[in-house]
Structure 1
Amino acid sequence: MIFKKQPGFDAIVGSMTPDGDGFNVDILPAWKQGRTAYGGLTSGLALAACQKSVSDLPPLRSANINFIGPVDDRATFTATVLRKGRNVTTVKVVATTDKGTAADIVFTFGVTRKSDLTVDYPIIDAPKPQDCKRFTPKIAEPIVPKFFLRFETKLIDGARPMSGADRGYIRAWSRHSDVNSREGIASLMTLSDVLPPAALPMFKKMGPVSSVNFLLNFLVDAPKTTDGWWQVETSLSAAQNGYSSQVMRIYNYDGELVCEGMQMVAIFI
């Protein structure tokens, strides 16, 4: 498909151009989800703009992402330091288009400290990526959101959307298709929202959904993995009144939990 030939995340970050206090970037069709940019791309570009604007940041600890309006063909990302303390630096990034504010994101960076407390959330054993089936069969590629083809994703457990499953759960391996886009925290941020909403496997018909917000907490200083592969899972916690809440976790290839998050999704089905 023609979309597979379009630039990966690394190239898009490289194309960001300064504009006053912010950075302009064109959103390519291959990175769209309906009429807006894929939410992970918006989040990743916001972090890239933050990194370009603010020097000497400690490791990223948390990202609080609010999706406000569509990020269409062109957007500007502007970073503002809210506070730079001895241990924690807080930076706000606003994404705007010609229609107004599209996303409001707060990143929290914090220095590493020694602690007597270490608690992990153990991973469930999984087959290697090469032993798992493609999440999207070839025949289904024309109907999945365009951005999804920017990633290689393999199903480990759970169910695909619209399969009428008895629970909302998806667990998969995923990595950027573009080899040059597999390194760095902004790359991981972009991949973090790759899976469909956890509620979708429970439906038997298609319909629109839209991310409302996204909270991610990073648990290691500099997340790394092997060959770009991350194990991503999303689990439905509750759903009613047209909204769902889900818990999300990302592990590296060796099974280390690198970040944990929660997301609200608006459901129009």
Structure 2
Amino acid sequence: MTDENFSRFDVHTVSLRSAHFAGSVEDHETSNGAIMIDLLTLLTGLRADGETYQIAVSEDWLQGRTTFGGLSAAICVESALRQYADLPPLRSAQFTFVGPATGLLSVRPAILRQGSSTTFVGVDLCGAAGLATRATLCFGSARSSAIHHPPVMAPQTPDRELCQPFFDSRAPLVTQHFDCLRAGGALPLDGSPNPNYQVWLRHRGSAPQSITGLVAVADALPPAALVLSKTIAPLSTVSWMIDVLTDQLETSDGWWLIEASADNAADGYSSQAMTIWNASGRAVAHARQDIAIFI
């Protein structure tokens, strides 16, 4: 978000390997006349230049003075997948947002270490002001194991048809790339003492139904700490990570259920945990995020 509304709350990922897509519209126009370029279309502009990739991001994917964090992360993952075609599934990813991602973006993936079952890839995304995002990605093949413990099932929520929109007119333009429904908990700027909410979320328009599509949508929400405030404040994600619990990333009509809970908010920072389930209630990812709050 921009500094004038919910501020710079971020989003993150994308792979064009999948032939399955949610939606069919390449771009659409908002009520105020802005043209929205969907995720799939935007990523066709990611072009290789030797070992580096370049991409220009359209204004509808900006939050304040930087590229939407989820998109920056998506570009990092997509560049790794394109550079190294035989990577196993993504198991874990960490993203540190060092500075603003503006202008023509340059992305450089590099293998840090490759073992018998896991490959670590580092990705630096740079903009006009220098390094913007640094990613560390762990790709790993599945292995037989005697250890098994099922993840927590999804909370009970109303049917999606009964849920109201989560975003309101104060949300930044980039949120119009997503359909988002309130499934439970509080709302940003409620002033509630319980910084927790659940939402149904999916891409609007064409997007890969893959790990990269999931990462992109997983960071589309404002920090849960905003529930504690009644005052709009500038926000900025410092770091974001996601652990992928399965390589079976399937859901119904593109919908994912996401719960976000702030563990702590003090000294200008907030730490939060997130869980993502598919439409059948199966957990597919856990995530954590550290946010700087300027209020």
TM-score, normalised via structure 1 length: 0.95
> In the aligned structure 2, how far is the partner of 1:264 from the partner of 1:113?
31
Say whether 1:134 aligns with 2:165. Answer: yes
Q: 1:103 aligns with which of 123, 133, 136?
A: 133
- Report the counterpart of residue 184 of structure 1 in structure 2: 210
Corresponding residue SS for 1:201: helix
Q: 2:152 aligns with which of 121, 127, 151?
A: 121
Corresponding residue SS for 1:175: strand
**Matched-pair contact (CA < 8 Å) for 1:25–1:76:** yes
> In the aligned structure 2, how far is the partner of 1:211 from the partner of 1:197?
9
Residues 190, 78 of structure 1: alpha-carbon distance in 2 compared, 3 angstrom cutoff: same
- Report the counterpart of residue 112 of structure 1 in structure 2: 142
* AA partner of residue 87 (structure 1): S
Corresponding residue SS for 1:130: helix
* AA partner of residue 290 (structure 2): M
Count of matched residue pairs: 264
Say whether 1:90 aligns with 2:120. Answer: yes
- 1:61-117 deviation digits (Å, cap 9, x = unpaired): 000110000112321111001111101100011100121100000100111012222
What is the CA-CA distance between 1:125 and the residue it aligns to? 1.5
| Structure (1 or 2) with the greater helix fraction | 1
Say whether 1:48 aligns with 2:78. Answer: yes
Q: How does 1:36-75 map to 2 (within 5 A)?
A: 36-75=66-105
Q: Percent identity?
A: 31
Which stretches of structure 1, 4 residues or more, deviate above 4 A after TM superposition? none
> In the aligned structure 2, how far is the partner of 1:73 from the partner of 1:27?
8
Corresponding residue SS for 1:115: coil
- Report the counterpart of residue 246 of structure 2 in structure 1: 220
Say whether 1:171 aligns with 2:201. Answer: no
**Matched-pair contact (CA < 8 Å) for 1:175–1:182:** no
Residues 58, 4 of structure 1: alpha-carbon distance in 2 compared, 3 angstrom cutoff: farther
- Report the counterpart of residue 265 of structure 1 in structure 2: 291
Corresponding residue SS for 2:276: strand
Corresponding residue SS for 1:134: coil
> In the aligned structure 2, how far is the partner of 1:267 from the partner of 1:135?
21
| Unaligned segments of structure 2, at least 5 residues | 1-29
> In the aligned structure 1, how far is the partner of 2:78 from the partner of 2:125?
12
Q: 1:211 aligns with which of 234, 237, 249?
A: 237
What is the CA-CA distance between 1:12 and the residue it aligns to? 1.2
> In the aligned structure 2, how far is the partner of 1:114 from the partner of 1:43?
30
> In the aligned structure 2, how far is the partner of 1:71 from the partner of 1:88?
29
- Report the counterpart of residue 12 of structure 2 in structure 1: none
* AA partner of residue 294 (structure 2): F
Task: Select the structure with the greater relative contact order (CA < 8 A; seq sep ≥ 6).
Answer: 2
- Report the counterpart of residue 53 of structure 2 in structure 1: 23
What is the CA-CA distance between 1:205 and the residue it aligns to? 0.5
| Unaligned segments of structure 1, at least 5 residues | none
- Report the counterpart of residue 44 of structure 2 in structure 1: 14
TM-score, normalised via structure 2 length: 0.86
